Structure 1
Amino acid sequence: MTIQDRAVNFPVASRSVVYEGRVWNIVHDTFVFPDTGESLGRDYIDHPGAVAVVALDEQDRVLMIEQYRQPVGMYLWEVPAGLLDIDGEDPLTAAQRELFEEADVRADEWHVLVDQFNSPGSSAEALRIFLAQGIHEIPESERFTRDGEEASMELRWVPFTEALDAVMDGRIHNPSAVSGLMALSVAKQRGLDSLREPDADWSAHPAFRDQTSPSAQDA
Protein backbone atom coordinates (compact mmCIF):
# COMPACT_ATOMS: atom_id res chain seq x y z
CA MET A 1 0.00 0.00 0.00
CA THR A 2 1.36 3.41 -0.99
CA ILE A 3 1.97 5.83 1.84
CA GLN A 4 1.06 9.47 1.32
CA ASP A 5 0.42 12.43 3.59
CA ARG A 6 -3.24 13.54 3.69
CA ALA A 7 -4.66 17.04 3.80
CA VAL A 8 -7.68 17.62 6.04
CA ASN A 9 -9.98 20.53 6.68
CA PHE A 10 -10.85 20.61 10.37
CA PRO A 11 -13.02 23.68 11.02
CA VAL A 12 -11.16 26.33 13.01
CA ALA A 13 -13.37 27.74 15.75
CA SER A 14 -11.12 30.75 16.31
CA ARG A 15 -7.81 32.17 15.17
CA SER A 16 -5.87 35.04 16.68
CA VAL A 17 -2.45 36.62 16.12
CA VAL A 18 -0.36 36.11 19.25
CA TYR A 19 2.69 37.91 17.88
CA GLU A 20 3.13 39.99 14.72
CA GLY A 21 6.65 39.81 13.34
CA ARG A 22 8.65 41.34 10.50
CA VAL A 23 8.52 38.25 8.29
CA TRP A 24 5.96 35.93 9.92
CA ASN A 25 3.39 35.90 12.70
CA ILE A 26 2.64 33.49 15.52
CA VAL A 27 -1.04 32.54 15.55
CA HIS A 28 -3.30 30.63 17.95
CA ASP A 29 -5.89 28.23 16.50
CA THR A 30 -8.71 26.58 18.37
CA PHE A 31 -10.26 23.54 16.66
CA VAL A 32 -12.10 20.31 17.46
CA PHE A 33 -10.10 17.14 16.86
CA PRO A 34 -12.71 14.73 15.43
CA ASP A 35 -11.03 11.52 16.62
CA THR A 36 -11.73 12.45 20.24
CA GLY A 37 -14.16 15.38 20.04
CA GLU A 38 -11.71 17.37 22.15
CA SER A 39 -11.28 21.12 21.66
CA LEU A 40 -7.61 21.89 21.15
CA GLY A 41 -5.56 25.08 21.05
CA ARG A 42 -2.26 25.31 19.20
CA ASP A 43 0.27 28.13 18.68
CA TYR A 44 2.44 28.04 15.56
CA ILE A 45 4.38 30.17 13.08
CA ASP A 46 2.23 31.31 10.15
CA HIS A 47 4.95 31.07 7.50
CA PRO A 48 4.73 31.93 3.78
CA GLY A 49 6.93 28.99 2.80
CA ALA A 50 10.28 28.92 1.06
CA VAL A 51 12.28 27.53 -1.84
CA ALA A 52 15.87 26.36 -2.10
CA VAL A 53 18.16 25.42 -4.97
CA VAL A 54 20.84 22.76 -5.33
CA ALA A 55 22.84 24.07 -8.29
CA LEU A 56 24.91 21.34 -9.96
CA ASP A 57 27.51 22.20 -12.60
CA GLU A 58 29.05 20.05 -15.33
CA GLN A 59 31.98 19.16 -13.05
CA ASP A 60 29.60 17.58 -10.52
CA ARG A 61 30.04 20.43 -8.06
CA VAL A 62 27.29 22.02 -6.00
CA LEU A 63 27.09 25.71 -5.17
CA MET A 64 27.32 26.35 -1.42
CA ILE A 65 27.07 29.65 0.41
CA GLU A 66 28.19 30.45 3.96
CA GLN A 67 25.76 32.71 5.84
CA TYR A 68 25.48 33.87 9.44
CA ARG A 69 22.32 32.78 11.33
CA GLN A 70 21.61 34.67 14.55
CA PRO A 71 19.15 32.18 16.17
CA VAL A 72 21.82 29.45 16.27
CA GLY A 73 24.82 31.78 16.50
CA MET A 74 26.69 30.10 13.66
CA TYR A 75 27.93 30.61 10.13
CA LEU A 76 26.18 27.84 8.17
CA TRP A 77 27.02 26.34 4.80
CA GLU A 78 23.77 26.40 2.87
CA VAL A 79 22.33 26.27 -0.64
CA PRO A 80 20.66 29.36 -2.14
CA ALA A 81 17.19 29.78 -0.64
CA GLY A 82 14.55 32.33 0.19
CA LEU A 83 10.99 33.06 1.22
CA LEU A 84 7.86 32.84 -0.89
CA ASP A 85 6.97 36.35 0.21
CA ILE A 86 6.11 38.03 -3.11
CA ASP A 87 2.39 37.94 -3.90
CA GLY A 88 1.61 35.91 -7.02
CA GLU A 89 5.14 34.59 -7.50
CA ASP A 90 5.19 30.86 -8.27
CA PRO A 91 7.79 28.61 -6.59
CA LEU A 92 9.96 28.11 -9.69
CA THR A 93 10.17 31.85 -10.37
CA ALA A 94 11.05 32.42 -6.72
CA ALA A 95 13.82 29.80 -6.91
CA GLN A 96 15.23 31.37 -10.07
CA ARG A 97 15.17 34.77 -8.39
CA GLU A 98 16.96 33.49 -5.30
CA LEU A 99 19.66 31.80 -7.39
CA PHE A 100 20.20 35.09 -9.21
CA GLU A 101 20.21 37.23 -6.07
CA GLU A 102 22.30 34.99 -3.80
CA ALA A 103 24.64 33.18 -6.17
CA ASP A 104 25.10 35.38 -9.26
CA VAL A 105 24.13 32.57 -11.64
CA ARG A 106 21.22 31.41 -13.80
CA ALA A 107 20.26 27.87 -14.83
CA ASP A 108 18.74 26.41 -18.01
CA GLU A 109 17.32 23.19 -16.55
CA TRP A 110 15.14 22.79 -13.47
CA HIS A 111 13.57 19.88 -11.58
CA VAL A 112 12.00 19.33 -8.17
CA LEU A 113 14.30 17.44 -5.81
CA VAL A 114 12.20 17.16 -2.66
CA ASP A 115 9.39 18.82 -0.68
CA GLN A 116 9.23 19.02 3.09
CA PHE A 117 7.82 20.75 6.16
CA ASN A 118 10.73 22.05 8.19
CA SER A 119 9.02 21.82 11.59
CA PRO A 120 5.35 20.78 11.19
CA GLY A 121 4.70 20.69 14.92
CA SER A 122 5.44 24.39 15.31
CA SER A 123 5.43 26.03 11.88
CA ALA A 124 3.39 26.10 8.68
CA GLU A 125 6.59 26.49 6.65
CA ALA A 126 6.60 24.36 3.51
CA LEU A 127 9.89 24.06 1.62
CA ARG A 128 10.44 23.01 -1.99
CA ILE A 129 14.02 22.22 -3.04
CA PHE A 130 14.91 22.38 -6.73
CA LEU A 131 17.78 20.95 -8.75
CA ALA A 132 19.25 23.49 -11.18
CA GLN A 133 21.59 22.52 -14.04
CA GLY A 134 23.03 24.25 -17.08
CA ILE A 135 24.63 26.98 -14.98
CA HIS A 136 25.63 30.38 -16.39
CA GLU A 137 27.40 33.14 -14.50
CA ILE A 138 25.77 36.57 -14.50
CA PRO A 139 27.99 39.45 -15.67
CA GLU A 140 29.24 41.49 -12.74
CA SER A 141 27.45 44.61 -13.97
CA GLU A 142 24.08 42.81 -13.80
CA ARG A 143 24.46 41.20 -10.37
CA PHE A 144 22.16 41.80 -7.42
CA THR A 145 23.44 43.99 -4.58
CA ARG A 146 23.22 42.01 -1.36
CA ASP A 147 22.85 43.52 2.11
CA GLY A 148 22.47 42.49 5.76
CA GLU A 149 23.84 39.04 6.57
CA GLU A 150 23.96 38.29 2.84
CA ALA A 151 26.43 41.10 2.09
CA SER A 152 29.45 39.07 3.25
CA MET A 153 28.38 35.60 2.14
CA GLU A 154 31.12 33.35 0.79
CA LEU A 155 30.23 31.38 -2.35
CA ARG A 156 32.02 28.15 -3.14
CA TRP A 157 31.62 25.37 -5.70
CA VAL A 158 32.07 22.12 -3.75
CA PRO A 159 32.50 18.64 -5.27
CA PHE A 160 29.23 16.83 -4.68
CA THR A 161 30.84 13.90 -2.86
CA GLU A 162 32.61 16.31 -0.48
CA ALA A 163 29.36 18.14 0.25
CA LEU A 164 27.62 14.83 0.92
CA ASP A 165 30.44 13.77 3.23
CA ALA A 166 29.96 17.04 5.14
CA VAL A 167 26.31 16.08 5.72
CA MET A 168 27.10 12.56 6.89
CA ASP A 169 29.99 13.71 9.08
CA GLY A 170 27.73 16.25 10.85
CA ARG A 171 29.71 19.25 9.59
CA ILE A 172 26.78 21.07 7.98
CA HIS A 173 23.30 21.46 9.49
CA ASN A 174 21.13 23.69 7.33
CA PRO A 175 17.93 21.73 6.48
CA SER A 176 17.79 22.90 2.85
CA ALA A 177 21.37 21.81 2.28
CA VAL A 178 21.04 18.50 4.15
CA SER A 179 17.76 17.49 2.50
CA GLY A 180 18.78 18.73 -0.93
CA LEU A 181 22.11 16.94 -0.97
CA MET A 182 20.63 13.71 0.35
CA ALA A 183 17.82 13.88 -2.22
CA LEU A 184 20.33 14.49 -5.00
CA SER A 185 22.29 11.43 -3.89
CA VAL A 186 19.15 9.30 -4.22
CA ALA A 187 18.22 10.94 -7.53
CA LYS A 188 21.65 10.12 -8.95
CA GLN A 189 21.11 6.46 -8.07
CA ARG A 190 17.62 6.39 -9.59
CA GLY A 191 18.53 8.57 -12.58
CA LEU A 192 18.00 12.32 -12.73
CA ASP A 193 15.32 11.79 -15.38
CA SER A 194 13.16 10.34 -12.58
CA LEU A 195 12.81 13.76 -10.95
CA ARG A 196 9.57 15.74 -11.08
CA GLU A 197 9.05 18.64 -13.45
CA PRO A 198 9.69 22.11 -11.97
CA ASP A 199 5.98 22.99 -11.99
CA ALA A 200 4.92 19.75 -10.26
CA ASP A 201 1.89 19.90 -7.97
CA TRP A 202 2.66 21.27 -4.51
CA SER A 203 -0.73 21.09 -2.88
CA ALA A 204 0.90 20.18 0.44
CA HIS A 205 1.80 23.86 0.78
CA PRO A 206 -1.09 25.45 2.72
CA ALA A 207 -1.28 28.38 0.30
CA PHE A 208 -1.54 26.12 -2.75
CA ARG A 209 -3.83 23.52 -1.22
CA ASP A 210 -7.13 22.76 -2.91
CA GLN A 211 -9.41 21.50 -0.17
CA THR A 212 -11.87 20.17 -2.79
CA SER A 213 -9.26 17.82 -4.25
CA PRO A 214 -9.55 14.05 -3.68
CA SER A 215 -6.49 14.17 -1.39
CA ALA A 216 -8.30 16.44 1.06
CA GLN A 217 -10.74 15.04 3.57
CA ASP A 218 -13.30 17.24 5.23
CA ALA A 219 -13.82 16.73 8.91
Structure 2
Amino acid sequence: MTGFAHEVISRTERYRGPVFTVVTDRVTMPGGGAANRDYLLHVGAVGVVALDDDGRVALIGQYRHAVGGRLWELPAGLRDVEGEDLAVGALRELAEEADLRARTVDVLLDLHTSPGCTNEQIRIFLARDLSPVPDAERHDRTDEEADIELRWVPLDDAIAMVFAGEITNAAAVGGLLAAARARDAGWASLRASDTPTLA
Protein backbone atom coordinates (compact mmCIF):
# COMPACT_ATOMS: atom_id res chain seq x y z
CA MET A 1 0.00 0.00 0.00
CA THR A 2 1.47 3.36 -1.05
CA GLY A 3 0.54 6.97 -0.38
CA PHE A 4 1.52 10.07 1.47
CA ALA A 5 3.82 9.45 4.46
CA HIS A 6 1.99 11.00 7.40
CA GLU A 7 4.53 12.10 10.04
CA VAL A 8 3.84 12.72 13.72
CA ILE A 9 5.19 16.17 14.59
CA SER A 10 4.26 16.03 18.27
CA ARG A 11 2.32 13.94 20.78
CA THR A 12 0.44 15.10 23.88
CA GLU A 13 -0.65 12.51 26.41
CA ARG A 14 -4.12 13.28 27.81
CA TYR A 15 -4.70 10.22 30.00
CA ARG A 16 -2.80 7.06 30.90
CA GLY A 17 -4.51 3.96 32.30
CA PRO A 18 -3.78 0.24 32.58
CA VAL A 19 -5.53 -0.68 29.31
CA PHE A 20 -5.28 2.40 27.09
CA THR A 21 -3.73 5.84 26.82
CA VAL A 22 -5.47 8.84 25.24
CA VAL A 23 -3.18 10.97 23.07
CA THR A 24 -3.34 13.86 20.66
CA ASP A 25 -0.91 13.62 17.72
CA ARG A 26 -0.07 16.53 15.42
CA VAL A 27 0.21 14.86 11.99
CA THR A 28 1.34 16.13 8.59
CA MET A 29 -1.33 16.04 5.86
CA PRO A 30 -1.06 15.68 2.05
CA GLY A 31 -2.24 19.24 1.42
CA GLY A 32 0.86 20.65 3.10
CA GLY A 33 -0.58 21.38 6.51
CA ALA A 34 -0.95 19.45 9.75
CA ALA A 35 -3.91 18.33 11.84
CA ASN A 36 -4.54 17.09 15.37
CA ARG A 37 -5.75 13.51 15.79
CA ASP A 38 -7.05 12.21 19.14
CA TYR A 39 -7.07 8.46 19.70
CA LEU A 40 -6.58 5.59 22.14
CA LEU A 41 -3.30 3.68 22.28
CA HIS A 42 -4.46 0.18 23.25
CA VAL A 43 -2.57 -2.90 24.48
CA GLY A 44 -4.41 -5.15 22.00
CA ALA A 45 -6.47 -8.28 22.50
CA VAL A 46 -7.03 -11.90 21.54
CA GLY A 47 -10.28 -13.79 21.04
CA VAL A 48 -11.42 -17.33 20.34
CA VAL A 49 -14.07 -18.96 18.21
CA ALA A 50 -14.39 -22.24 20.12
CA LEU A 51 -16.06 -24.81 17.87
CA ASP A 52 -17.15 -28.19 19.22
CA ASP A 53 -17.53 -31.49 17.37
CA ASP A 54 -21.22 -30.75 16.73
CA GLY A 55 -20.45 -27.47 14.96
CA ARG A 56 -21.53 -25.27 17.86
CA VAL A 57 -19.67 -22.18 19.04
CA ALA A 58 -19.22 -21.05 22.62
CA LEU A 59 -20.72 -17.58 23.13
CA ILE A 60 -20.48 -15.69 26.38
CA GLY A 61 -22.94 -13.11 27.63
CA GLN A 62 -21.13 -10.37 29.53
CA TYR A 63 -21.99 -6.92 30.90
CA ARG A 64 -20.21 -4.09 29.07
CA HIS A 65 -20.44 -0.81 30.93
CA ALA A 66 -19.61 1.39 27.94
CA VAL A 67 -22.79 0.24 26.17
CA GLY A 68 -24.81 -0.13 29.36
CA GLY A 69 -25.80 -3.75 28.91
CA ARG A 70 -24.89 -7.33 28.18
CA LEU A 71 -23.47 -8.43 24.84
CA TRP A 72 -22.99 -11.84 23.25
CA GLU A 73 -19.28 -12.18 22.59
CA LEU A 74 -16.43 -14.60 22.02
CA PRO A 75 -14.14 -15.53 24.91
CA ALA A 76 -11.51 -12.80 24.67
CA GLY A 77 -9.10 -10.70 26.65
CA LEU A 78 -6.26 -8.22 26.68
CA ARG A 79 -2.68 -8.77 25.57
CA ASP A 80 -1.59 -7.70 29.02
CA VAL A 81 0.91 -10.42 29.92
CA GLU A 82 4.33 -9.24 28.76
CA GLY A 83 5.99 -11.64 26.32
CA GLU A 84 3.03 -14.02 26.23
CA ASP A 85 2.49 -15.83 22.92
CA LEU A 86 -0.82 -14.74 21.40
CA ALA A 87 -2.16 -18.29 21.05
CA VAL A 88 -1.23 -19.02 24.67
CA GLY A 89 -3.03 -15.86 25.75
CA ALA A 90 -6.11 -16.83 23.75
CA LEU A 91 -6.19 -20.30 25.31
CA ARG A 92 -5.80 -18.74 28.76
CA GLU A 93 -8.83 -16.53 28.08
CA LEU A 94 -10.79 -19.54 26.78
CA ALA A 95 -10.07 -21.40 30.01
CA GLU A 96 -10.80 -18.41 32.25
CA GLU A 97 -14.05 -17.29 30.59
CA ALA A 98 -15.54 -20.50 29.20
CA ASP A 99 -13.85 -23.27 31.25
CA LEU A 100 -12.58 -24.86 28.04
CA ARG A 101 -9.31 -26.22 26.68
CA ALA A 102 -8.43 -26.87 23.03
CA ARG A 103 -5.95 -29.23 21.40
CA THR A 104 -6.15 -27.56 17.96
CA VAL A 105 -5.64 -23.81 17.55
CA ASP A 106 -5.33 -21.85 14.29
CA VAL A 107 -5.36 -18.17 13.36
CA LEU A 108 -8.73 -17.19 11.94
CA LEU A 109 -8.28 -13.44 11.35
CA ASP A 110 -6.77 -10.18 12.54
CA LEU A 111 -8.79 -7.00 12.75
CA HIS A 112 -8.58 -3.42 13.92
CA THR A 113 -11.66 -2.92 16.07
CA SER A 114 -12.26 0.79 15.43
CA PRO A 115 -9.39 2.41 13.50
CA GLY A 116 -11.03 5.83 13.50
CA CYS A 117 -10.34 6.21 17.22
CA THR A 118 -7.95 3.48 18.40
CA ASN A 119 -4.98 1.39 17.27
CA GLU A 120 -6.46 -1.67 19.02
CA GLN A 121 -5.85 -4.88 17.10
CA ILE A 122 -7.38 -8.21 18.01
CA ARG A 123 -6.27 -11.61 16.73
CA ILE A 124 -9.07 -14.17 16.58
CA PHE A 125 -8.17 -17.85 16.84
CA LEU A 126 -10.22 -20.91 15.95
CA ALA A 127 -10.09 -23.50 18.73
CA ARG A 128 -11.20 -27.09 18.16
CA ASP A 129 -10.87 -30.49 19.84
CA LEU A 130 -12.31 -28.98 23.00
CA SER A 131 -12.46 -30.40 26.51
CA PRO A 132 -13.63 -28.95 29.84
CA VAL A 133 -11.25 -27.52 32.40
CA PRO A 134 -11.47 -29.76 35.50
CA ASP A 135 -13.55 -28.22 38.29
CA ALA A 136 -10.57 -27.96 40.65
CA GLU A 137 -8.56 -25.98 38.06
CA ARG A 138 -11.21 -23.46 37.03
CA HIS A 139 -10.55 -19.74 37.20
CA ASP A 140 -12.20 -17.74 39.98
CA ARG A 141 -14.11 -15.11 38.00
CA THR A 142 -14.68 -11.66 39.53
CA ASP A 143 -16.25 -8.29 38.62
CA GLU A 144 -18.13 -8.40 35.27
CA GLU A 145 -16.84 -11.92 34.63
CA ALA A 146 -18.53 -13.25 37.79
CA ASP A 147 -21.89 -13.64 36.01
CA ILE A 148 -20.72 -14.65 32.54
CA GLU A 149 -23.32 -16.79 30.79
CA LEU A 150 -22.01 -19.52 28.49
CA ARG A 151 -24.23 -20.55 25.58
CA TRP A 152 -23.52 -23.15 22.91
CA VAL A 153 -24.99 -22.08 19.58
CA PRO A 154 -24.79 -23.82 16.18
CA LEU A 155 -22.46 -21.73 14.00
CA ASP A 156 -25.15 -21.02 11.41
CA ASP A 157 -27.52 -19.86 14.16
CA ALA A 158 -24.80 -17.56 15.49
CA ILE A 159 -24.45 -16.08 12.00
CA ALA A 160 -28.20 -15.52 11.95
CA MET A 161 -27.85 -13.72 15.31
CA VAL A 162 -25.28 -11.41 13.70
CA PHE A 163 -27.65 -10.45 10.89
CA ALA A 164 -30.57 -10.09 13.31
CA GLY A 165 -28.57 -7.54 15.31
CA GLU A 166 -28.34 -9.83 18.35
CA ILE A 167 -24.53 -10.04 18.16
CA THR A 168 -22.92 -6.62 17.71
CA ASN A 169 -19.47 -6.99 19.30
CA ALA A 170 -17.07 -6.33 16.40
CA ALA A 171 -14.67 -9.16 17.25
CA ALA A 172 -17.54 -11.63 17.58
CA VAL A 173 -19.11 -10.52 14.30
CA GLY A 174 -15.80 -10.82 12.44
CA GLY A 175 -14.80 -14.07 14.11
CA LEU A 176 -18.11 -15.82 13.50
CA LEU A 177 -18.33 -14.74 9.87
CA ALA A 178 -14.72 -15.79 9.29
CA ALA A 179 -15.32 -19.15 10.97
CA ALA A 180 -18.35 -19.86 8.77
CA ARG A 181 -16.41 -18.89 5.64
CA ALA A 182 -13.40 -20.97 6.67
CA ARG A 183 -15.64 -23.97 7.41
CA ASP A 184 -17.35 -23.68 4.02
CA ALA A 185 -13.91 -23.55 2.34
CA GLY A 186 -12.76 -26.70 4.12
CA TRP A 187 -10.56 -24.74 6.56
CA ALA A 188 -8.07 -23.88 3.78
CA SER A 189 -7.79 -20.24 4.87
CA LEU A 190 -6.58 -21.00 8.40
CA ARG A 191 -3.08 -19.88 9.39
CA ALA A 192 -0.68 -21.47 11.85
CA SER A 193 -1.16 -20.33 15.44
CA ASP A 194 2.30 -18.73 15.52
CA THR A 195 1.85 -16.68 12.33
CA PRO A 196 3.25 -13.16 12.98
CA THR A 197 0.83 -10.23 12.92
CA LEU A 198 1.34 -7.77 10.05
CA ALA A 199 0.55 -4.61 12.02
* TM-score band, normalised by shorter chain: over 0.9
The alpha-carbon deviation at position 31 of structure 1 amounts to: 2.2
The alpha-carbon deviation at position 38 of structure 1 amounts to: 1.5
Match of 1:106 in 2: 101
Mapped to 2, the partners of 1:139 and 1:148 lie a distance apart of 22
Regions of 4+ moved over 3 Å: 5-11
Match of 2:39 among 34, 44, 48: 44
Match of 1:77 in 2: 72
Cα 1:110–1:15 shift into 2, 3 Å: same
Match of 1:54 in 2: 49
Instruction: Give the 5 Å matches for 1:67-146.
Output: 67-146=62-141
Mapped to 1, the partners of 2:33 and 2:163 lie a distance apart of 42
Cα 1:130–1:139 shift into 2, 3 Å: same
Mapped to 2, the partners of 1:129 and 1:144 lie a distance apart of 21
Mapped to 2, the partners of 1:37 and 1:7 lie a distance apart of 14
The alpha-carbon deviation at position 73 of structure 1 amounts to: 1.1
| TM, length-normalised to structure 1 | 0.86
- Which amino acid in structure 1 is aligned with residue 81 of structure 2? I
Are 1:32 and 2:42 matched, yes or no? no
- Which amino acid in structure 2 is aligned with residue 50 of structure 1? A
Query: Which stretch shifts more, 85-94 or 50-59?
Result: 85-94
Name the SS for the 2:11 alignment partner: strand
Match of 1:17 among 13, 19, 31: 13
Match of 1:161 in 2: 156
- Which amino acid in structure 2 is aligned with residue 82 of structure 1? G
Cα 1:144–1:193 shift into 2, 3 Å: same
CA RMSD of aligned residues (A): 1.7
Cα 1:31–1:192 shift into 2, 3 Å: same
Deviation per CA, 1:124-156, whole angstroms, max 9, x where unpaired? 101111100010111000001010000011112
Query: Percent of aligned positions with the same letter in both sequences?
Result: 46
- Which amino acid in structure 2 is aligned with residue 112 of structure 1? V
Deviation per CA, 1:51-108, whole angstroms, max 9, x where unpaired? 1100000011100110001111111111100011111112111111111111111101
Mapped to 1, the partners of 2:7 and 2:60 lie a distance apart of 42
Mapped to 2, the partners of 1:152 and 1:23 lie a distance apart of 22
Cα 1:70–1:192 shift into 2, 3 Å: same
For structure 1, the 5+ residue unaligned runs are 205-219
Mapped to 2, the partners of 1:56 and 1:149 lie a distance apart of 24
Mapped to 1, the partners of 2:4 and 2:14 lie a distance apart of 24
Match of 1:190 in 2: 185
Query: Which stretch shifts more, 190-199 or 93-102?
Result: 190-199
| TM, length-normalised to structure 2 | 0.94
The alpha-carbon deviation at position 163 of structure 1 amounts to: 1.0
